[in-house]
Amino acid sequence: MEAGEVKRGKAQLKTSSTAEYFAKNLQQVGFSSPTKAVLTTLKEAFDNSLDACEDHEILPAIRVEVEKQGKGSTKNTDLIYISVQDNGPGIPFKELPMVFGEYLASSKFGRGRCTRGQQGIGISAATTWAMQTAAQGVKVTTKTKGQKKAVQCRIEIDLKHNKGLMKDKIDLDWAPSHGTRVEFWIDGRVQVNGEAGLLAFLKSNVLVNPHLELTYKLMDEPEVFVERVSDQVPQIPDATAPHPHTMKLGEFMGHGKLYGNIPVRDWLTTAFSRMNKAVFEDLTAKHKVPKKLFDQKMNEIKEADFKNLFTAIQEAELPPPSTGSVLAIGEEGLARSILRLGDLDYFSVVSRKPAICDFKPVQVEVAIARMTSRNDGVNEGEESCEVIRFANRVPLQFDKASCAIMKAITSVNWKVYGLKQSRNSPPSGPYIVAVSVVSPFIKFKNASKETIDASEELVEEIRRTLMQAGQRLSRHLRKEHKEAMLESKMQHIEQFAPILVEGLVRLTASSQARREQAHKGLLKILGREAKDAKDELAEADRKLEAHLNQKRKRLGAAFDLVMAREDESDEDSRVAVKADSKSKKSVTKLKKGVIDKVDVIKPDAVKRDAEVHEKAKVSGKVKKKNVAKSKAENKSKSTAEAKTKTKTKTKAQPVANKAPVKPAPAARKITKSEKPSKKEAPVKGKAVTKKTVKRPTAPAKKSTPAKKTKGKKK
């Protein structure tokens, strides 16, 4: 061997486990920085909780806590505590090591259904990050339905063998009847606000999950509770088999070898969608596939037959895939949920029918909302609108530029719909544009699922949905513009109307009252009298508030007690309805001054007092009626007797004697029976006084004595 020559040994090949690979490449699954690590850890635990609740038809109630507990082990980091607790079905303790400590262990992978998680990587990667930075795994507390005590343990990962290890298992009393709590201690940095902040993640989940009840406490901020707006758990659709046109040759052949010793016909009908009898007949007639091939066993088919069958299926015209596996939010649920984002003065929601993009069922939903005010202090038109992206109801907060949703938004000409827009950018103004893409086969660009692959068909479908929502927004903006123009014209008229009225008053020499009447009529024509009424009502409310403030300042601590007693007295002074003896209702008003002095009023006592009052009232009326009746009878008797005496005297004495006539009695009440008849005509030459006749207040009985004495003479 010459000098300087280096002896090289043979390189040894060795295998590594999946856990070892991801432990060295955690940046591929969202742990590329301390700030991003905190958000990714929260996201993975939160998504698992939502999926578990929905799979078992439980309305999710989730509690999130994030706080700083000291300095981290690495430079410029803090020790962050993250806790996520749900009311889901719980996890059997035997499955805990597999769920939190084994990569690619998932119950959702390849199911052909819309779920948030699929691969079984995220939560295991969070456990790996906790082990690397804080030297401890994840702490899990879980309890299934019917279990008396909860199980609490710590899960770590055996990276060499890709297996989870359970440590420190204990049984403890836990108040919830079922559920799971996951606790992480990791090194990281917390970003609460901003597009990539924790608050944006939680608010985005509130938007696309109207059935979610959320409680969260972030750092030193106060605890926030968000109530659900829908009591309906999303109906999980059935899983859909892959469409044959979405397969590649190698996938097709490898997929067939998994089914073993079954006929080719059975394999095609069970493993793929849209393979029916008509398709088999078309393959035999048009594409020259022998019938006997469909009856052969899968393990007997040669490679050439596989290739010919694959080519024939790709050339055949198959029905599009089924859209029954798509799980959408719905316009009603999205409209209710968007109101929880803040103060909005307009929003529109569009949910298109499921479509086929790249032979995969896809449904796109869009919500456009306009905020009444911006929290960041910018004016309308100075900054781009807020864009919220979702894939299978999971917020996408990173890698915005290369996403299919962002490309669709920038491709729309928003100026047509009345919004400001710069070139190749989203619209400007205080708007929120939320786009949700739902599909069981969403194609992401990386394992962290941060952005959707921008295929042409998908971008076009999103673009059409955005244009439909933009048309609704445009109609609203045009209506607002017309109303603003009309208001401007009315203000212009209102400004010069007093000058016109003054000129007309001078020309016509009208009075001050006529001028005021003309001014009021003008306000009525312009529709301003309602505005004056509102101003007066606002002024009255202001005066009432000022009065209450003065009263509060004067009374101090006794103000609340006095107001409570006044409220009680107002309630008790309402009209009370009582039933009388004939099942009729009489109204009795209770005086406020009396109620204030009584601590407790019993209903029986009030009823008894009302009945006594009614009886006394009725008896008084009867007595008055009887007295009037007796007076009328006495008067009628005396009148009849006097009349009888007068008649007898007149007939007994001749007219020539001219006996003195008694003076006419004072005006009195007489009955019909006492009116003078024709026989009783006045004597000639004598003055007759007119008697005023008054109707009796009470009906008098017929004067029977007058009739008896009519023919008698003394």
Decide if 100 contacts 63 (C-beta within 8 A): no
For residue 210, pLDDT beyond 70: yes
Whether the pLDDT of residue 20 is over 70: the answer is: yes
Q: Which of 204, 226, 202, 203 is nearest to 66 (CA)?
A: 202
- Identify whether the C-beta of residue 397 lies closer than 8 Å to the C-beta of residue 201: yes
Q: What is the pLDDT of residue 364?
A: 92
The pLDDT of residue 600 is: 36
Q: Are residues 208 and 181 in the same domain?
A: yes
Give the pLDDT confidence of 623-637 residue by residue, as tens digits: 555 555 565 666 555
Looking at the domain assignment, is residue 134 inside a domain? yes
* Structural domain contains residue 7: no
Rounded to whole angstroms, the Cα distance separating 646 from 475 reads: 100
The pLDDT value recorded for residue 639 is 57
471-488 pLDDT tens trace: 998 898 888 888 888 888
In this structure, the answer to whether residues 581 and 517 fall within a common structural domain is no
Q: What is the DSSP letter of 90?
A: -
Is the pLDDT reported for residue 151 higher than 90? yes
pTM of the model: 0.66
- The CATH number linked to 124 is 3.30.565.10
**pLDDT for 17 beyond 60:** yes
CA 577 to CA 568: how far, in whole Å?
A: 18
Residue located via tokens 């007489």 = 670
Give yes or no: residues 284 and 396 share one domain: no
Would 649 be classed as within a structural domain? no
- State the DSSP string of 401-455: TTSHHHHHHHHS-GGGGT-EE-TTS-EESSEEEEEEEE-TT--BSSTT--SB---
Claim to verify: residue 25 and residue 98 sit in the same structural domain: yes
606 burial (CB, 10 Å; 0-12 / 13-18 / 19+) is middle
Alpha helices in 316-411 (DSSP H): 331-338, 404-411
| Residues 354 and 401 grouped into a single domain | yes
**pLDDT higher at 153 or 645:** 153
Lowest mean pLDDT among 236-240, 368-372, 412-416, 487-491: 236-240
Tell me the pLDDT tens digit for each residue of 233-247.
888 777 778 888 888
Domain check: are 373 and 472 in the same one? yes
Residues 522 and 600 in one domain: no
* Residue 631 within a domain: no
Distance in angstroms (rounded) separating the CA atoms of residues 709 and 645: 9
Bridge partners of 215, per DSSP, are 63, 225
Q: Confidence band (pLDDT; 50, 70, 90) for 569?
A: low
| Three-class DSSP category at 181 | strand
- 707, pLDDT greater than 60: no
**Domain total in the chain:** 5
The pLDDT of residue 6: 52
Q: At what angle do helices 249-257 and 264-271 cross, to 10 degrees?
A: 110
Examine the domain organization and report whether 40 and 174 are in the same domain. yes
Say what the pLDDT of residue 572 is: 53
pLDDT one-digit tens code per residue, 501-536: 888 888 888 888 887 888 777 777 766 655 666 677
φ/ψ of 480, rounded to 5, equals -65, -40
Among 226, 256, 290, the domain boundary falls at 226
pLDDT at 86: 94
- 416 found inside a domain: yes
pLDDT at 620: 54
Dump pLDDT digits (tens) for 434-469: 999 998 888 888 878 888 988 889 999 999 999 999
Q: Residue 578: pLDDT band by 50, 70, 90 thresholds? A: very low
Residues spanned by the domain of 358: 331-479
546 and 510 within one domain: yes
Q: Are residues 80 and 217 in the same domain?
A: yes
What's the CATH number where 352 sits? 3.30.230.10
Same domain, 176 and 258: no
More confident residue, 525 or 167: 167
